Structures are given as C-alpha cells and as structure tokens.
Amino acid sequence: MFATEQLIRMALAEDLGTGDITTRATVPAGTRGEARLVAREAGVLAGFDVFCRVYRTLDAAVEIEPGAAEGALVAAGDTVAVLRGPVVSLLTGERTALNFIQHLSGIATLTRRFVDLVAGTGARIVDTRKTTPGWRSLEKYAVRVGGGKNHRMGLFDGVLIKDNHLQAAGSVAAAVRQAQELAPHTLRIEVEVESLDQLCQACEAGAEIVLLDNMELESMRRAVLWREEKFPAVLLEASGGINLHTVAAVAQTGVDFISVGALTHSARAIDLALDLVG
C-alpha cells in the first residue's frame, strides 16, 4: 500500500509536470490572497487532513483555517475552510487537493447513507477490497469516517475462502482445515457460501464467519435461524449486489455484517470548490 505522502507527491507531480503554465502567466509573482473551500452540495466531510497536506507539500506558506470538522455533515454553501497565502500556490494545488477531499468525502457520504438505512437492526456495513489501486488505506479510512467498518485490509490480515479456493481445495471441509493449519490463530476464518448446505458444511468445519453470497432474502432468513439454533457463535455476512434500495431488507434478516463494494468503487465525488475571495 502507498503511504499518503507518496500519493500526494505522485499526484502533484502528475498534475504539475514542469509547472503551472496558466497560473504563472496570469498571476503576478508575490501576489497573496485568500480562498474559500466551499461545499456545493450536502455531504460528509472526509479527507480534510489530506487536503491540507497537499498544500503543505506544495508550499508551507499556505495557511488553512478549518471551518468544519472531519466527519461533519456539511450543507450546500457551507465554508469548509479558508486558505491564505501566495495565490500561485493556492491555484496550483487546487485540483490535486480537491481530488483527494472530493473523492474521500464521496465515500464517507455514501457510507453514511448505507449506515443510516440499517440503523437499529444490529447489522454493520463493511467495505471490501474493491478499491482504487494505491488508495486503499485512504478509501477505507473514508468508510470509517462515514460510520462503516473495515473488512480485511488485504490478503495478509484475514482468511476469506471464496468459491475458487473451494474449487481448488476440493471441499469446504478441506479448505477450512488447510486454513486452520496455516493461518495464525489470531485470524478468524471466513468462508463464502452460496447455499444453506454449504453454510452447514462451513459451520461444521469450524468457520467463524460465513459470507452468504448473492442469497435471496428468504434464504438469508433461513440461514440466520439455522445459525441461531445450531452455531450461535458464528457470524453471518451478506454480500453481492446490495444497494441503497435493498440494504434495509437485507439487514432485517438478522445478518451481522453487510459488505458493499460500491462504497469504494462506485461512490460519486462530492462537489466541493475552491473560490478566490476578492
């Protein structure tokens, strides 16, 4: 995974190249000014620290006064921050800084919508590994800001036995047994299943979490009831095409987790703008 500082430097280098020709041509050297970061629509603010770090990396002379807290719900027209410093730097860093905060705020905003829809059910919204290459730590951070939970960070910090693993291992029992032999005891073993029969096999084999993949609501309800009677310690996760229209009904089946890839791969950037004052 890339460190945030690496991403910032890469993004600035990508945008600046040999320099900001337009700003150098139109802004007199030494001009100082003020700009406001303004929300053009409602959303959950995430990534403000990264926004600030872009400017610190570009020019330490830029001063930023926050107007909203990380995780706050901002309304259209709200001033999120006031920036003061060399106008050349304010404009040169504008697009890169906005790219970070708009994207991360979009993820946090979408996550908050999912979280609100399942409130009171006991189900927790979690993300997936369907992230932008290099951005995983930041995108998963934005999910947390929005009230969601993180699934595994990568292939190294959790065992999730999926359909291809089952095919390669030969059976659910064999896959779980092999994972138990290899994985550290601190890692929980999760198995993806597509039927109630596979759910039974996974639980009997010792899976601690079972992912119900693309199951119909009635099958999920039956899975929850069976789990409660036979293996109450096993956690159930629902996944597969769950969206804002279906998530509430999924949560009401009694599952413990609902994983949503769209949180990171399909979140729309929130409209934030940087406007020079005066």
Q: List active site positions.
A: 95, 130, 162, 192, 213
CA 269 from centre of chain: 12
- Three-state SS for the chain is CCCHHHHHHHHHHHHHCCCCHHHHHHCCCCCEEEEEEEECCCEECCCHHHHHHHHHHHCCCCEEEECCCCCCEECCCCEEEEEEEEHHHHHHCHHHHHHHHHHHHHHHHHHHHHHHHCCCCCCEEECCCCCCCCCHHHHHHHHHHCCCECCCCCCCCCEEECHHHHHHHCCHHHHHHHHHHHCCCCCCEEEEECCHHHHHHHHHHCCCEEEEECCCHHHHHHHHHHHHHHCCCCEEEEECCCCCCCHHHHHCCCCCEEECCHHHHCCCCCCEEEEEEC
- Full strand arrangement of the beta sheet holding 79-86: 63-66, 79-86, 32-39, 272-277
Question: Pairing relation of β-strands 159-161 and 43-44?
Answer: unpaired
